[in-house]
Amino acid sequence: MNVSRRNFLKGSGLAAGTLAVTGKSAHANIDSPELRTKGLQTSTTICPYCAVGCGMIVHTKDDKVVNIEGDPEHPINQGSLCSKGSALFQVANNERRLTTVKYRAPKSDKWEDKPWDWAMERIAKNMKETRDRNFVKEEKINGEMYTVNRNEGFAMIGAAALDNEECYLLGKFARAMGVGYLEHQARI
């Protein structure tokens, strides 16, 4: 539709007039949150991007994410989201999102699709081999031998997407593996 400058100004004047008389926009009902989310499944989550940890409401239909917005009842962000958090919808709905394990064998120039079980087994095997190869049982400090049980072949880093319980479990797992280089991206 072509909108001339004159028509645009006339329309804007009408909308402003409606607002002044009724206190509501002429289109308020069309954009009401109730209509937008009616019949959708609602659940809450935490933004996975940064350590601020903003609360979000996720709307789904037939197991597909159809809307994500800030949670007004969340004490941290009270409904607001930054531009990254506002675009989270595109993480769930994105044709470029990888949904399978991609593996590139040593010296190969191709990625192959692999099953999750295959990947988990391979990761576990590599972790075991790396730990055994790099495990330091004892160390001489100031002429005395001390038991250190340190795995120098690993480093582990957590991210803001982890909640308290996941961080606790990751920390425990890392220490059980003898990891000394244990860090978290959200070091605040």
Residues that bind ligand SF4 (CB under 6 A): 47, 49-50, 52-54, 77, 81-82, 84-85
Greatest CA separation for the chain? 90
User: Which one, 71 or 151, has the nearer CB to ligand SF4?
Assistant: 71
Minimum separation from the CB atom of position 80 to ligand SF4 (A) = 8
Is the Cβ–Cβ distance between 64 and 44 less than 8 Å? no
Tokens found for residue 70: 């800030």
Minimum separation from the CB atom of position 55 to ligand SF4 (A) = 9
Q: What is the CA radius of gyration of the chain?
A: 27
3-state secondary structure 7-73: HHHHHHHHHHHHHHHHCCCCCCCCCCHHHHHCCCEEEEEECCCCCCCCEEEEEEECCEEEEEEECCC
User: Which one, 41 or 86, has the nearer CB to ligand SF4?
Assistant: 86
Minimum separation from the CB atom of position 112 to ligand SF4 (A) = 33
Minimum separation from the CB atom of position 74 to ligand SF4 (A) = 10
User: Which one, 49 or 174, has the nearer CB to ligand SF4?
Assistant: 49
User: Which one, 51 or 157, has the nearer CB to ligand SF4?
Assistant: 51
